[in-house]
Structure 1
Amino acid sequence: MGFLDIKQATKSYGSLRVLHETDISIEEGEFLVLVGPSGCGKSTLLNMIAGLEDITSGEIAIKGKSMNGVKPADRNIAMVFQSYALYPNMTVAGNISFGMEMHGIAKPEREKRIGQVADLLQISHLLDRKPGQLSGGQRQRVAMGRALVREPDVFLFDEPLSNLDAKLRVDMRTEIKKLHQKLGTTIVYVTHDQIEALTLSTRIAVMFGGYVQQLGTPKEIYDNPANMFVAGFMGSPSMNLFPAKVVSADGRPAAEVSLADGKTAAIPFASDALSSSIGKDIILGIRPEAITDKDGADRNSKAVHIVDAPVEVTEPAGSDTFVVSQIGGKDVTGRFRADVAVKAGEVFPFAFNMEKAVAFDPKTEKRIA
């Protein structure tokens, strides 16, 4: 039993089921991120934990106590919204203390907590200002401060950074991670941004179509995606996915792929896991950083294989150059070193690190190796 347990939870609106049987157990101090595209069910699940949405079936429990039918105010949770939801006519201090006033906490204790949280979030100099006088990042800190003073069992974050500009999002991401490391609080965090999910979480639940597609650590999700949706959704740039056929090359399984110039290449796998799939079609998955220029390849890998392929596009990106070729009829992106002399239109050696390759069933889209 975890600190927060979601057991076979579902949500339906009439005949439309938007969240299917969901089981997640969250330990105390864990940072769980629910990530997925719009409409996948992540915000619905968060609202069910908060009590803002009723559960159609199943159970949600906090510290062993069922929350089914328990009002939001009685759940000892705190929520940080995308819209900040600050009272414009109140000062920062008033916004932070409002929830404590409603819970009957004495003024000396309120002032003590306000001071502690303001110091922690570095907003002490803003306490007498009103929300209209603050930047987006400052408003988000105030919204977090209002949640922190409650000292809840669970913090719920609903896309809290999506209204901020790109640089501020990165800065606030770092601040939230520091805060979690310092306080050890239990957090459930909703986002559609997979970079946020990978950088903030201790575990990720990738959601799509009302189902949890995969639950695991950031490394498990990134390195060992359970299916093609997870593989394509997580990572930036996303994992390359292209058709191949399993063939035998020098006595071991290899991925035979077609190249843009009409040629084919057989790329040996790092293991014999697909020995029983010789002759079968697969979808080969390999991340851009595992397709490099020859000298940039991982020297510790024993399964780096060179494929000479026509270059379609080069995309300089400062510290790297992304190089695109057509393989299996799909655009496949490699991450080359910035100073590699490579040009569109030429045939260039691409180094595939097959220790990082995964294979999916084209019909079920589930991982097979």
Structure 2
Amino acid sequence: MGFLDISNVTKSYGNVEVLHRVDIEVKEGEFLVLVGPSGCGKSTLLNMIAGLESISSGDISIKGQVMNGVHPSKRNIAMVFQSYALYPNMTVGQNMTFGLEMHGVPKAERDTALANVAKLLQIENLLDRKPGQLSGGQRQRVAMGRALVRDPDVFLFDEPLSNLDAKLRVDMRTEIKKLHEKLKTTIVYVTHDQVEAMTLSTRIAVMYQGYVQQLGTPKEIYDSPANVYVATFMGSPAMNVVPARVEMRDGTPYALVKVQGGSEQALRFSQANMADWDGREILLGIRPEAITDPDGADRNSSNIVSLTNRIGVTEPAGADTFVTMELGGQDIVARMRADVSIAPGDEYAFAVNMEKAVAFDPKTENRIEP
């Protein structure tokens, strides 16, 4: 049993089930990120943990106690909202301690908690200001501080960085990660941003259409996606997924893919269990960084194969150059070194790290297990 247990939980509105049999066990001190597009059910699940939404079936437990029907104020959780939800007529200090005051915590304890958290978040100089006098990043720190002073069992974050500009979002992401590593708190964090999910979490639940598509560590999600949806949602640029045909040659499986012009090239698989797929169509998944120039290829890989193709578009991006080309009848992206000498229209011998390739069943779109 975990610190927070979500067991076979569903949510329905009338006859429409929007959240389907969710099972997640969250350990104490874990940072779980619920990630997915708008409407996938992630905020609904977070609100069910908080007690702001009722549970249609299943159980949610915190520290072994079932929370179904328990009022939000009795759950010992703290929530940080996208909108910050600060009282404009109160000072920062009053905003942060208001919840403690409502729970009857003595003033001396409130003042101690406020001083400790303000120091932790480096906002001691803001305590007498009103929210309207603060920047977006400062307001976010105050919202986090209001949650921290309560010392809850579980912190819930509902897209807390989406209102910030790009640079501040990166800075606050780092602050939240440092805070978690320092306090070892249990966090459930909702976002639609897969970069936030990858950088912050200890585990990720990728959600789509009310289902948890995959639950795992960032590395598991990135390297071994459970299906095509997870493969293409997680990663920037997204994983390339192209049609291919399996062919066994002297007991070794190859993926045959069509390059621009219609000819086929054979890419040797690293996974050996493809014999049952001999002669059959698959979807081949390769991350952009696994398609590069020969000098930039992974020196530790035992299966770098050559793929000659015509370059379509080049996009210099500072540390990298992204190359678009046609493979399997569709555009794919390769990530090259910044100083590689290439131009649109060139025929180029790309180095493909087939150790990083994954295969999907084109009918179910689920990964073919290695």
Aligned to 1:351: 351
| Cα deviation 1:332-369 (Å, max 9, x = unaligned) | 11110000011111111111100000000011000004
Counterpart check, 1:30 vs 2:21: no
1:227 aligns with 2:188: no
Q: CA deviation at 1:264?
A: 1.2
Report the equivalent of 1:236.
236
Map 1:5-24; keep pairs closer than 5 Å: 5-24=5-24
1:248 Cα deviation after fit: 2.3
Q: 3-state DSSP class of the match of 1:266?
A: strand
Where 2:29 maps in the other structure, the secondary structure is coil
The residue aligned with 2:275 is 275
Deviations 1:293-314 (A, max 9, x none): 0111011111100111010110
1:193 equivalent in structure 2: 193
SS at match of 2:363: coil
TM-score for both structures, normalised by structure 1: 0.99
1:73-88 mapped onto 2 (5 Å cutoff)? 73-88=73-88
State the partner residue of 2:254: 254
Inter-partner Cα distance in structure 1 for 2:53 and 2:297? 50
Across the aligned residues of Structure 1 and Structure 2, the Cα RMSD in angstroms comes to 0.7
Contact (CA 8 Å) 1:359, 1:367: kept in 2 or not?
yes
Which runs of 5 or more structure 2 residues have no equivalent in the other structure? Answer: none
**Contact 1:31–1:188 (CA<8 Å) still a contact in 2?**
yes
Residue in 1 that maps onto 2:299: 299
Q: List aligned pairs for 1:29-68, cutoff 5 A.
A: 29-68=29-68
Task: Give the SS at the match of 1:312.
Answer: strand
Shift in Å, 1:271: 3.0
Aligned to 1:266: 266
Aligned length: 369
2:164 — aligned with what? Answer: 164
Q: Are the counterparts in 2 of residues 322 and 335 from structure 1 also a CA contact under 8 Å?
A: yes
CA distance in 2, matches of 1:34, 1:267: 35
Structure 1 moving runs of 4+ over 2 Å: 248-251
Sequence identity, in percent? Answer: 70
1: distance between equivalents of 2:250 and 2:349?
21
Q: Which residue of 2 aligns with 1:333?
A: 333
Checking the alignment, whether the CA contact within 8 Å between 1:249 and 1:266 is kept in structure 2 is no
- What is the distance in 1 between the residues matched to 2:117 and 2:234? 34
Q: What per-residue deviation string (whole Å, max 9, x for no partner) do you get for residues 54-108 of structure 1?
A: 0000000000000000000000000000000000000000100100000001111
Q: Please name the residue that 2:308 is paired with.
A: 308
| C-alpha separation in 2, matches of 1:247 and 1:343 | 33
Unaligned runs of 5+ in 1: none
Task: Quote how far apart the aligned CAs of 1:249 are.
Answer: 3.5
Q: Which runs of structure 2 are paired with 1:106-117 in the superposition (5 Å)?
A: 106-117=106-117
Query: SS at the partner of 1:311?
Result: strand
Q: Distance in 2 between matches of 1:262 and 1:33?
A: 42
Does residue 149 (structure 1) correspond to residue 149 (structure 2)? The answer is: yes
The whole-number CA distance in structure 2 between the counterparts of 1:321 and 1:296 is 12
Whole-angstrom CA distance in 2 between matches of 1:348 and 1:284: 21
Q: Partners in 2 of 1:214 and 1:271 — Cα distance?
A: 21
> Per the alignment, in what secondary structure is the counterpart of residue 199 of structure 1?
helix
What's the TM-score once normalised by structure 2's chain length? Answer: 0.99
CA distance in 2 between counterparts of 1:104 and 1:42 reads 33
Q: Is the 8 A contact 1:96 1:145 kept in 2?
A: yes
Secondary structure at the aligned position of 2:2 is classed as coil
Measured in 2, the distance between the counterparts of 1:174 and 1:145 equals: 16
In structure 1, the residue corresponding to 2:52 is in which secondary structure?
coil
Letter aligned with residue 345 of structure 1:
G
1:270 is displaced (CA, Å) by 1.3
Q: Quick one: distance in 2 between partners of 1:328 and 1:41?
A: 34
Q: Partners in 2 of 1:57 and 1:271 — Cα distance?
A: 41
Partner of 1:175: 175
**1:99 partner SS:** helix
Q: CA–CA distance in 2 between the matches of 1:350 and 1:332?
A: 13
SS in 1 for 2:118: helix
**Code of the aligned partner of 2:246:** V
Cα distance in 2, alignment partners of residues 299 and 61 from structure 1: 47
Letter in 2 for 1:45: L
- Offset, 1:250: 4.9
Q: Distance in 1 between matches of 2:330 and 2:195?
A: 24
